[in-house]
Amino acid sequence: MDNSNTKDLAEPLLVPQQQQQQQQQHEEVVVGVSGVTETAAAAAAAAAFSLEHENETNASNSNGNGNSTFSYHTELNEMLQLGLPLAVSFFCRMAMASTDSSFVGHIRDAHNTPEVYLAAAVLSDMVVNLCITPPLAFNQVLNGLVGQAVGSQQPQMAGIWLQQSMFWLTLTMLPCLLGLRYVEHILLMLKFPADICRVAGMYAKYNVLWPIPNGLYQCLRFYFQAIGLPRPAMYNNLIFLAINALLNWIFVFGGPFRTIFPEIFGTPAWHGLGFIGAAISLSISRTMQGICYFLYMFTYKQYHLQLQAWPLRGWAIQHHTLHRTKEFMKQSVPNIGTLLFQAAASQATTVLVGRLGQLSIAASSALSTVTIPWSGTLGATTSTISAVRVGYHLGRGDAKAAQKSATLVLHAITLTNVLMAVVLVLGRHKVLEFATDDASVLKMAATLVPAMLVGTYLNLLVGNITSGVFSGQGRPLIATMLSFGFELPMSIGGVAVYILMMHGNLLGVYWWGAISGAIEAVLVLYLMYSSDWDQCADDAMERQEASQSTSPLDSTHSSSIGENGGRGGANDDGNVTESSNQVRRVLPIASRTAHADDNEESPLDFTGNQLDDHGDDMSQPLLVCV
């Protein structure tokens, strides 16, 4: 769909209920609540077929939750449609950082050894990540909130949550960036070697430009991915992964200018900027990555308007009522503590490992360089899938489907880890050579692989439940309580005791991470399966204001709510309306297998313009995709 159609999307045609039957060239189904455009006839017919099919297969229970037939095959297909582009996107993002480390680990000059540069890079990243982590809570929450908005047929709420996310992330990130000026002093206070601290401090100052653009880019990615458009971010990340590698080659080692300058211009060869060239490359890549994505998705394609996942008043403060802002803060603020603790726990382990010597830091860094791209990709992808799919099912009131979806992701994590374990155990030496060519670092890192694999698997299970499932349920406070009440003494405390009091080694640190991960995995699995999923479904629909506006298949705003709070009622004709917690008889935008970015024709949307209790145009669109 080209940009000229966005006006039609923003100003839908209202069709009275009395005009539901029309004769067209092909058989059509006209839904008379939210409004129908003539170009949507074929898609509406497909939706009618879906309605008839699901009427035959869906079963109802007393409270309406979990009333749809759940197909593992269908759910897995939807997860793959969402997850594969997500995995590529996350892999590219993490591989971008690993590319910087790889270039840094191969720098040999008269100033420092590769070990010093590699240790300085990881310590600098440690402090930088701690500084910029808290504001990221305001974009992490989008996976669950937008998934719930789509599932409850309130896609315009997704746009409101995105605006909240971008505003609060930018506002809170500004003071956090001040910490990047004091990286050297922080590391000196932690008793790291002075030469490493000096190099790390210089490296951090060149990273100050990218955190805000990168954070806003994450907001946009999570928003569009949750409404069913993960592929543009995948293509964007693939392109900038190559661009970042090219920039590293140029800024670290001089690239083609090592030969171009003397051969063509007769000037001395340019050998790049060395160590700081990696930071400059990353800053340019991550800044331009977000800018290009915004220009394509928002300015050129305007997918937020095409999919009607945007409030009709646009960037208006009227959308952000006190009620909505409180709800957003309720979902996001607990994540600040969770993310900050997770980052602090990881970095505290790095600090403690630093007590074991420069070789241990370098070995740990080399191992992270080759494992984070796949383990971080798997963790981020599965957590996002869990948050979106669990949120989607709960948003439409299907508690049983949400629970089964969460379980399916856990099985996928297990299978993927088994496959990666085979690859890394058999080819550990070849894989580690990607990070460094230092023989002593390679030897120590190779001994850590088995313990790393066990700990990674268990921590992926924990992270998927706390960051994915609990987020989709709208219960982020549980993750925060676990972080401070359980992980604090188990992870940081346990490692501190092992290193400082028992004088342990690096291998023991990794095995302790596996042991503490196993204990926490048992706890979070119990919490997940003992959750009140029906109550989570009710809360999700209320959070997205599904009970305050009409169902797409109802004819009026007030009658569809009635005494059931959005779970069905009678319309003006006295007919029983569709229960809002059942499957909506449409193909939701978060679940489709065709994407608007694959074709100029966007998914067809039906919407009305009825104002909700907050004065915003929040009538629920009937979203159909063929």
Tell me the average pLDDT across 356-360: 80
pLDDT band at 57 (very low <50, low <70, confident <90, very high): very low
Indicate if the alpha-carbon torsion angle 518, 523, 526, 532 is positive or negative. negative
**What tokens does 388 get?**
């979106």
Quick check: 213 pLDDT over 90?
Answer: yes
Phi, psi of 624 (to 5 degrees): -125, 135
pLDDT of amino acid 261: 63
Residue range 230-240, pLDDT digits in tens = 999 999 999 99
* Close Cβ partners of 623 (under 8 Å, ≥ 6 residues apart): 153, 155, 307, 308, 586, 587, 588, 589, 603, 604, 605, 606
pLDDT band at 580 (very low <50, low <70, confident <90, very high): very low
What 3 state SS string does 55-100 have?
A: HHHCCCCCCCCCCCCCCHHHHHHHHHHHHHHHHHHHHHHHHHHHHH
Tell me the average pLDDT across 616-622: 36
* Close Cβ partners of 221 (under 8 Å, ≥ 6 residues apart): 89, 233, 293
Quick check: 410 pLDDT over 80?
Answer: yes
Residue range 540-564, pLDDT digits in tens = 898 888 754 433 323 333 222 222 3
Percent of the chain beyond pLDDT 70? 74
pLDDT of amino acid 369: 78
Quick check: 255 pLDDT over 60?
Answer: yes
Residue with tokens 């500084």: 131
Judge contact between 78 and 226, C-beta under 8 A.
Answer: no
pLDDT of amino acid 290: 93
What is the Cα–Cα distance from 99 to 249, expressed in whole angstroms? 10
pLDDT band at 289 (very low <50, low <70, confident <90, very high): very high
Quick check: 480 pLDDT over 80?
Answer: yes
pLDDT of amino acid 358: 75
Tell me the average pLDDT across 528-539: 91
What is the Cα–Cα distance from 566 to 547, expressed in whole angstroms? 4
Return the amino acid letter for 137: A
Q: What's the pTM? A: 0.67
∠ CA 112-114-118, rounded to 5°: 105
Residue with tokens 């569009």: 224
For residue 449, give the 3-state DSSP assignment. Answer: helix
Tell me the average pLDDT across 408-434: 87
Return the amino acid letter for 102: S
pLDDT of amino acid 336: 86
Tell me the average pLDDT across 17-41: 36
What 3 state SS string does 496-533 have?
A: HHHHHHCCCCHHHHHHHHHHHHHHHHHHHHHHHHCCCH
What's the length of the chain?
626
For residue 570, give the 3-state DSSP assignment. Answer: strand
Residue range 87-121, pLDDT digits in tens = 888 888 777 877 877 788 778 776 777 778 888 88
What is the Cα–Cα distance from 84 to 238, expressed in whole angstroms? 13
Quick check: 402 pLDDT over 50?
Answer: yes
**What tokens does 98 get?**
């690993």
Bridge partners (DSSP) of residue 61 are none
298 or 377: which leads in pLDDT: 298
pLDDT of amino acid 12: 34
- pLDDT, averaged across the chain: 74
pLDDT of amino acid 267: 63
Backbone torsion region of residue 357, taken as left when φ is above 0, otherwise alpha when ψ lies between -120 and 50, otherwise beta: left
pLDDT of amino acid 485: 78
pLDDT of amino acid 484: 78
Q: Structural domain boundaries of the chain?
A: 72-539
Quick check: 58 pLDDT over 70?
Answer: no
Tell me the average pLDDT across 4-28: 36
Task: For helices 533-543 and 358-395, give the axis angle rounded to 10 degrees.
Answer: 80
pLDDT band at 528 (very low <50, low <70, confident <90, very high): very high
Percent of the chain beyond pLDDT 90? 27
Most confident option among 111-120, 262-271, 305-314? 305-314
pLDDT band at 279 (very low <50, low <70, confident <90, very high): confident
pLDDT band at 68 (very low <50, low <70, confident <90, very high): low
Closest CA to 9 of 595, 607, 617, 616: 607
Judge contact between 398 and 65, C-beta under 8 A.
Answer: yes
What is the Cα–Cα distance from 113 to 107, expressed in whole angstroms? 8
